[in-house]
Amino acid sequence: MFDEKDVLLEAKHVTRRFPAQGGRELIACNDINLKLYKGKTLGLVGESGCGKSTFMRFLVWLDRPTEGEVIYQGKDITKLKGRELHEMRQHIQMVFQDPSTSFNPKMKIRDIVCEPLLNYGRIRHSQKDQKARELLEMVELPGDFADRFPHNMSGGQRQRVAIARALALEPEIIIMDEATSALDVSVQETIIELVTKLQKEKNITIGFICHNLGFIQSFSHQIAVMYLGNIVEVMPGENMAKICCHPYSKALLDAVFDTKMDFSKKIDPIKGEPPSPLNVPPGCPFQDRCDKCAAICREKRPHLQELSPGHEVACHLFSKEGSV
């Protein structure tokens, strides 16, 4: 399903450390290797504070990793500056979580969706009216919305405008940071339908952050599970429920409530909360909450190992060297 020549963007050994009180270090992302494929969706799941947003922010250059590189079009985009960086930005765009705070409240929708185009000199001011209409119709909103302000619209409509703005420059990659979490389920469904339709039409690559595994598996080609700054499992989106094997991925899956579940089943959530990223224990980051924790897990950190094509897991239980 994934062809090496379709790799559009590759993160290699990306690490981000933040300085913390008392000379300590907070490792938000620890040695992350991920690939985004042309026209496919990468879903990144994990609990709050596990570093998933930090990672996605490197891709749109809102932050720079301490170590490692992000290769796009043969260049390490984390080192770009000035004009080159400006040029690169038009290929990678972002949609934020809260559509009510990601717009300037005093700008009209027309100006909001056309601003990126004007920044890159793609259209003239006189063309704004027509272009705004086209963009709004692309996201299935009436063209007359161009005259509105963000506060005149519902959350779902605003999120559509955010998508229109991100797509205005016809980027190759869009990063969506919990773009549907603030919306009702019925609205969430229509947004996802729209996004997947546009993805097929324009062959866009999407990086999607979410913390609901049940939701993200419905539209991702590839899913990465993150825990305390580490990627613990990467797997194809299809049949995810059957093939996922890391204890943490399973725990996340068990925590999903859906309407087709067995209601008589007693839920058995994993205990406690993730430890502070300031003092990650040596060995496996998940050791304290894992019920299959063995001696080796406390000593040696597991690395990602391939189980089958496209399915990698970092857990000693599945280690090829064998014994736990």
Interface with other proteins (CB under 8 A): 41, 47-48, 155, 184-189, 192-193, 196, 199, 211-215, 217-221, 237-238, 241, 251-261, 263, 266-273
Cβ proximity of 285 and 233 under 8 Å:
no
User: Considering the complex, what minimum distance in angstroms separates the CB of residue 176 from other proteins?
Assistant: 14
Cβ proximity of 241 and 62 under 8 Å:
no
Q: Does the CA dihedral 239-241-245-246 come out positive or negative?
A: positive
CA nearest neighbour of 198 among 162, 153, 145: 162
User: Considering the complex, what minimum distance in angstroms separates the CB of residue 210 from other proteins?
Assistant: 10
Q: Does the CA dihedral 120-122-127-130 come out positive or negative?
A: negative
User: Considering the complex, what minimum distance in angstroms separates the CB of residue 16 from other proteins?
Assistant: 21
CB closer to other proteins out of 14 and 248: 248
CB closer to other proteins out of 84 and 273: 273
CB closer to other proteins out of 125 and 266: 266
Three-state helix/strand/coil letters over 58-99: HHCCCCCCCEEEEEECCEEHHHCCHHHHHHHHCCEEEECCCC
Strands (E), the chain: 7-19, 25-37, 41-45, 67-72, 75-76, 92-95, 173-177, 205-210, 222-227, 230-236, 305-308, 311-313
Cβ proximity of 99 and 155 under 8 Å:
yes
CB closer to other proteins out of 289 and 311: 289
User: Considering the complex, what minimum distance in angstroms separates the CB of residue 199 from other proteins?
Assistant: 8
User: Considering the complex, what minimum distance in angstroms separates the CB of residue 259 from other proteins?
Assistant: 5
User: Considering the complex, what minimum distance in angstroms separates the CB of residue 12 from other proteins?
Assistant: 26
CB closer to other proteins out of 19 and 267: 267
CB closer to other proteins out of 155 and 281: 155
